[in-house]
Structure 1
Amino acid sequence: MLPLLLLLGGMMLAALAAQLLLEGSGYVLLVTPDGLMSLEMSFWTGLILLLALLLVSFFVLRVLGWLSHPLRGLHLRQQRYQAQAALKTTVRGLVDLAEGRWKRARKLLVKAAPKSGTPLINYLAAAQAAHYEGLEEEAEQLLKKAEQSTPDARLAIDFSQARIQLDQGHYEQALATLVRLYEQVPKHPLVLRQLRDTYLTLGDWKPLLALLPALRQAKVATSAELDQLEERAYLKRIEDLRHQWHTGAAGSCLQEEVRLFWQHLPKKWREKEAIFSQWIGLLFDLQSWTQAEQLLSQRLKQHWSSEWIELYGRLPAEVEIKRRLLQAEKWLHDRPDDAALLHALGRISQQAGLWGKAREYYHASWSIQRSGAVALELARLLKALNEPELSQRYEREALGLLIQHLPRLPLP
């Protein structure tokens, strides 16, 4: 379209000039300021002289420019030649890198970097080759040269550095680099994936949980995979809290951290059986009996579990003993043949000092399901009630159940 427009414009100007010639040539009058000299000519003659003057001026300026820098052309030609040579060397280096010839690739890329139009690419690729060679200090130096050559490319340099650190197994250093990257590009899928994998490797569950909303928004995995990851992270986080309690690493602030954790835990995960059981175990470790009793009572009304009713019976006597006994007996109306519930009722009755009732509940549980724990607790109660023969009988029953689970080994 451009040549066509220029042609049309030229034709229009020619038609205009022809029209002007037909109407009259006109004239140009040049007079000096003092009026002593004057020059008169036709308009077209003046226009031709003006164009000729412009062409001569352009030519003179070009000659003067060349005379002032007579070697500029040679210098520019040399620069182009060097750039082409550097490009060819860079391409050979990248090919060697792709084919696994690390040493040769590193040397070619470093050699071409100063004359290359993109030294950043040369130094980053050379750092990768040095890493594959096992020259970690050399790789670090090449990354520094990459930053010096292109200070604005810090993001690309951090990406390469994080990848090298992860390959080396330097996860703590890689984590610092990835956190810096995450602050710059919080929605970048590669950064999110690498940050997730690093947290998993280090077992750093608290920041991983904080990262999960960004992982979901970026869709770095399927919804089901992220749900599994989130459940695992919550379970591991509770395990960490229990470990801190047993080792004394958390100090006095653990109780508050535990309270805030459950308070901010989404309802979806509170209802997960595995997470709830782990949480009750933590409350038992912390001896937070009141909260444990409230949660267990509420959950058992919604969803029955032999594991949870067993824990309900393990609560100490000072925790709402009368109310717990009444509640458990209400449950017994709906579940008269539940061995775990009868066992729990035996324990609660024994805590309340109701020896006869405790004995009946233990015996009822034993008659439904033979359990070593029930037999031993019943034996202990019978011994205290001065029934040694019956106590010894249940002790033998418990020992027999234990022996059944022993491996078969030769005897003398």
Structure 2
Amino acid sequence: MMKSILYFLGSLGLATLTAFVVSKWLSGFDNPGYVLIGIGQWSLETSLVFFSVSLILGFFAFYVFFRSLGWFLRLPKQITTRSKNIKFNRSQEALIAGLVDSAEGNWEKAETVLIKHASHSGAPLIHYLTAARAAQSRGAFDKRDEYLKKAADQAPGSDVAIGLTQAELHLSGHQFEQALETLTRLHSIDPTHATVLKLLHQTYQQLGDWEGIRKLLPALNNNKILMEAEVKLLETEAFSELLKQASEKDSSEEIQALWAEIPAHIKRMQGISAIYFAAMINAGAGAEIERELADVLSVNWDQTLLALFGSVQSNDTFGQLQISEQWLSRHPDDAVLLTILGKLCQKCQDPQKAEFYLSKSIAIDPTVQAYQLLGDLYYEQGNKDKASECYKNGLELASSEIAKDINALS
């Protein structure tokens, strides 16, 4: 305002000085002249000095008038622009204050200041998303969803950014089904988005959806979301859990179909094949995998697989015994193998060999199962004293194992 006043006074002084100089200059002539203007029946006659001065001052007056008129015409727009600038600056200050309050844990205060100035901000999306996080942190889920909806209305082209925030908030609020719904939609929009894939992986794990993880594994690997070792570990875990789920259905066809889909390098991992063979045995299809299980044991000697082989209800018990005795030459002091041999000999009606194998197993490493089997053998032979002794030793061993477990937990 002061600048405009100075500009006006300067222009007025210049015009007055010009008029004074012109009048002095013209007055210096002997005949300063005159001006005659005629319009129809009207005429105007005046001195050249007066006319020149009037012309200079009139030009200044018209100039000031039109400048003032232009200023007045522009005034409403200037007021609107200035008002917008003030609101914009306030919104920026509010955004900074809201972010600081959020960082300090002042959720309600942050939410209030962010929403108040969101409509005037140059980045309303940040206002609403930060306010949604603040509302989530104080447990106001209805407000959170309201702010996310407003964010979508204010920034229609930011579906992925809004969706990711929504999914993260659902995950932190243990709303896994809602998170999965949002992430599935985002995945259809951008199947290679790193954060979407990572959050999908986390959501599937929380839901125990191992089939979903199995289908997601190629994308996680191809887009380098996880390290190669992490992908292999996740792949192993996924197929393990899927095999366990299939075993609960007692469907050997479903278990075998899943096993056929598992990559060879996963099948070779320790523990995976044990889950498969155990599932098939529990489904009543042990005879179908007996030969395959024996082949695996011939290459990879494993106590768990050996125990599973001994639990197979074979259609050819004598053949099962022959295979087991072939292993004895390479593993003569394996207590588990000796127990299995004793069990199979008992099934094959060979009590003498059964007693030999079971006694040797107990001498190497006594187990409750070996005592139980030997006690049953003595009982069938009518030797109740020896049977009672075996049962007693088995109970004492079981009790000591339980006591050890309790001490380990305490």
By the TM > 0.5 criterion, same fold?
yes
Change beyond 3 A, Cα 1:91–1:402: closer
Q: Does 1:276 align with 2:287?
A: no
Instruction: Give the Å deviation of 1:169.
Output: 1.8
Q: Does 1:140 align with 2:145?
A: yes
CA deviation string 1:308-361 (max 9, x = no partner): 22322222242x323222212222233333322222122222223333333333
2-structure distance, mates of 1:387, 1:129:
77
Asked whether the 8 Å contact 1:235–1:278 carries over to 2, the reply is yes
CA deviation string 1:227-268 (max 9, x = no partner): 3333233333333333444xxxxxxxx443312210011111
Asked whether the 8 Å contact 1:317–1:352 carries over to 2, the reply is no
Q: Does 1:384 align with 2:383?
A: no
Q: Does 1:297 align with 2:302?
A: no
Give the equivalent residue in structure 1 for 2:196. 191
Q: Counterpart of 1:152 in 2: which secondary structure?
A: coil
Residue among 179, 183, 189 paired with 1:178? 183
Asked whether the 8 Å contact 2:210–2:238 carries over to 1, the reply is yes
**Structure 1: which amino acid aligns with 2:283?**
L
Q: Counterpart of 1:334 in 2: which secondary structure?
A: coil
When the two structures are superposed, what TM-score results if normalisation uses the length of structure 1?
0.72
The structure with the largest alpha-carbon Rg is 2
2-structure distance, mates of 1:359, 1:239:
36
Give the equivalent residue in structure 2 for 1:5. none
1-structure distance, mates of 2:89, 2:110:
18
Give the equivalent residue in structure 1 for 2:154. 149
Asked whether the 8 Å contact 1:372–1:399 carries over to 2, the reply is yes
**Structure 2: which amino acid aligns with 1:328?**
S
Asked whether the 8 Å contact 2:317–2:348 carries over to 1, the reply is yes
Residue among 227, 236, 247 paired with 2:232? 227
Residue among 110, 118, 121 paired with 1:113? 118
Asked whether the 8 Å contact 1:187–1:214 carries over to 2, the reply is yes
Give the equivalent residue in structure 1 for 2:105. 100
Give the equivalent residue in structure 1 for 2:347. 351
1-structure distance, mates of 2:185, 2:337:
54
Asked whether the 8 Å contact 1:293–1:312 carries over to 2, the reply is yes
Instruction: Give the Å deviation of 1:405.
Output: 3.6
2-structure distance, mates of 1:99, 1:300:
61
Change beyond 3 A, Cα 1:141–1:356: same
CA deviation string 1:344-381 (max 9, x = no partner): 12222222333333333333333433333222212212
Asked whether the 8 Å contact 2:252–2:285 carries over to 1, the reply is no
The worse-fitting range, judged by mean Cα deviation, of 230-239 and 172-181 is 230-239
CA deviation string 1:164-186 (max 9, x = no partner): 21222212211221222222222
Give the equivalent residue in structure 2 for 1:307. 304
1-structure distance, mates of 2:385, 2:95:
93
Q: Counterpart of 1:273 in 2: which secondary structure?
A: coil
CA deviation string 1:96-121 (max 9, x = no partner): 33443333332222222222233222
Q: Counterpart of 1:219 in 2: which secondary structure?
A: coil
Asked whether the 8 Å contact 2:160–2:186 carries over to 1, the reply is yes
Instruction: Give the Å deviation of 1:293.
Output: 0.8
Instruction: Give the Å deviation of 1:301.
Output: 0.7
Instruction: Give the Å deviation of 1:92.
Output: 3.5
2-structure distance, mates of 1:262, 1:337:
33
2-structure distance, mates of 1:262, 1:137:
46
Change beyond 3 A, Cα 1:137–1:352: same
Q: Counterpart of 1:398 in 2: which secondary structure?
A: helix
- Can you give the 5+ residue segments of structure 2 that lack an aligned partner in the other structure? 1-69
Instruction: Give the Å deviation of 1:270.
Output: 1.0
Residue among 168, 172, 178 paired with 2:173? 168
Asked whether the 8 Å contact 1:178–1:194 carries over to 2, the reply is yes
Change beyond 3 A, Cα 1:242–1:82: same
Change beyond 3 A, Cα 1:71–1:371: closer
Residue among 318, 329, 340 paired with 1:333? 329
Give the equivalent residue in structure 2 for 1:62. none
Between the two proteins, what is the percent identity of the paired residues? 30
Q: What root-mean-square deviation, in Å, do the aligned CA atoms of Structure 1 and Structure 2 show?
A: 3.1
Q: Counterpart of 1:379 in 2: which secondary structure?
A: helix
Instruction: Give the Å deviation of 1:158.
Output: 0.7
Instruction: Give the Å deviation of 1:77.
Output: 4.9
Q: Counterpart of 1:187 in 2: which secondary structure?
A: coil
2-structure distance, mates of 1:200, 1:256:
26
Q: Counterpart of 1:175 in 2: which secondary structure?
A: helix
**Structure 1: which amino acid aligns with 2:347?**
Q
Q: How many residues align?
A: 339
The worse-fitting range, judged by mean Cα deviation, of 399-408 and 169-178 is 399-408
Instruction: Give the Å deviation of 1:141.
Output: 0.9
